Amino acid sequence: MPGDTLDQVVVDFTTSRKEAHAHYVGLSRVKTLDGLFVLNLAADKIHVSDNIKTEMSKLRSERQSTLSIHQPYLHSATSYQLAFLNTKSLHKHIDCIRRDRFLTACDLLMFCETRTSPTDQSEFYHIDSFNTELFHRLSNNVQRSHYTLLASFSEFSLEKG
């Protein structure tokens, strides 16, 4: 089907024509390189549109932007650093949050979770050196509901105030 992304793909480039982007389309349908099998790849048939070459040249020269990343761990000890994230399925990604040095350098982490369950416990969302509070939306629904707030306060932030 057009636009599909598959686990395994066999791409056969047997052709006498040079179709713009045919190789890209064929190679971009697979999720990993381990699942890609290429037959009859002829480098002389790879074609890149002149419009694409021009646009890429402009992006590399005229349209460069500077990288701007806020690094809370470089800021003053007299200010508070707050991170507020609208999340989905935090319960599936809490380990990524625990390892994120930008987030764990903040004094207060707040997550507006789109899916929580009344059975979720604050301890499950614990992050080292943070005190965690889970504010559930009042609901009798046992399924994951919308609009729960998770707040984690750094133990060190209390020393600042």
Q: Does residue 137 lie within any of the structural domains?
A: yes
54 and 83 in a single domain? The answer is: no
β-strand 108-113 against 82-87: which pairing, if any? parallel
Based on the structure, what is the number of domains in the chain? 2
Q: Does residue 67 lie within any of the structural domains?
A: no
21 and 84 in a single domain? The answer is: no
Domain of 128 in residue numbering reads as: 72-160
134 and 154 in a single domain? The answer is: yes
109 and 130 in a single domain? The answer is: yes
Profile the chain (161 residues) by mean pLDDT over runs of 10 residues: 78 75 77 89 78 88 70 63 82 89 86 73 84 67 55 59 50
Tokens of 6: 């598959």
Where do the DSSP E strands lie in the chain?
A: 9-12, 36-39, 82-87, 108-113, 130-135, 148-154
139 and 78 in a single domain? The answer is: yes
95 and 130 in a single domain? The answer is: yes
**pLDDT score, position 122:** 77
**pLDDT score, position 95:** 93
53 and 90 in a single domain? The answer is: no
**pLDDT score, position 46:** 77
Q: Does residue 155 lie within any of the structural domains?
A: yes
Q: Does residue 1 lie within any of the structural domains?
A: no
